[in-house]
Amino acid sequence: MTARAGAAPAVALVVAGLACQEVGASLAYLLFPQVGPLGMVMLRLVFSALVLLAIARPRLRGHTSRDWLSVVWFGVVLAVMNGLFYLALERLTLGVTVTIEVLGPLVLSIVASRRASAWLWAALAFAGVVALGGGGGWDRLDPVGVVFALGAAASWALYILASARVGAAFPKLDGLALAMTAGALISLPFGIVSAGGALLRPELLAIGAAVAVLSSTIPYAFELIALRRLPASAFAILMSLAPATACLAGFLLLGQRLTTLELAGIALVIVASIGAVRAAGRRAREAVEPVA
């Protein structure tokens, strides 16, 4: 009973974190005409870094050069991942962008499982993407936006690997705070060129700060709490619901509608993600079970 009682609030935290992320993405989309996608990336990373530095107060001593290289690499991945995501969001709907981006962790889960059944989940995900493109006609999907979204998907897979490496070398939120700072510094020249004089407008800076809190600070905090109460496999499955929350946010906040076939495609990608994560979890359990 105790485990179940702890799991229910944890599930609610994960879902709330996903909702905050998509609300933050919707706010970011509304700022594109003023600051551009790369300006929005800069605002998100800079304010996220400031908040995380204030919370974590990371220690700078006692780390090897390899640790610092890992932090810098993590920062590069953060900057590229967010940049490609917002560039894709400028050309595609929120639901479609997040669905394509989820393919990154999905492929990583399939590779990790090393099971024959993994190809089933890969085929199901491919069918979902085909349905996504065919729902409104392939000409409706901006090809450049799709390329950006696929780049964001690959970056998300790299984010997972880089996060694990930095998390092993730095305690608590120290590594994330430092990597976010590196990502913010990398994004600065691109963001300044993109946003220009709009950065002097206090209301835009306030919205940028809100995007950072909604898209990064709150979800990260909720995820850390949830991971203490949920198995990693269950957490990963819940994260597979991101396309569904993105579609809902896009519809409610941005008025973005999807056809029935596009919704079916998103559902297929979600099912494939859940299946791949469960398969990877079973393989991990088998690897640690003693041989009778």
Answer yes or no: is pLDDT of 258 > 60.
Answer: yes
pLDDT at position 288: 45
Query: 257 by DSSP, 3-state: which?
Result: coil
Q: Where are the alpha helices (DSSP H) in 57-142?
A: 65-89, 94-101, 103-113, 118-134
Structure confidence at residue 290 (pLDDT): 47
Taking the domains of the chain in order of start, what are their residue ranges? 2-288
CA nearest to 143, candidates 83, 100, 95 = 100
The total of other beta-carbon atoms located within 10 Å of residue 218's CB is 20
pLDDT, tens only, 212-233: 999 888 887 787 777 667 766 6
- Would you say residue 275 has pLDDT above 90? no
Q: Taking residues 48-71, what's their average pLDDT?
A: 89
pLDDT exceeds 60 at position 285: no
What counts of helices (H) and strands (E) characterise the chain?
12, 0
Q: How confident is the model at residue 150 (pLDDT cuts 50, 70, 90)?
A: very high
Residue 1 has what pLDDT? Answer: 43
Tell me the C-alpha distance between 221 and 231, whole Å.
17
Task: Give the residue from 155, 190, 20, 17 showing the smallest Cα distance to 75.
Answer: 155
pTM score above 0.85: no
72-131: pLDDT as tens digits: 999 999 999 999 999 999 998 888 888 888 888 777 767 766 666 767 877 887 787 777
Say if CB 279 and CB 109 are below 8 A apart.
yes
DSSP state of 179: H
Highest-confidence segment of 12-21, 46-55, 92-101: 46-55
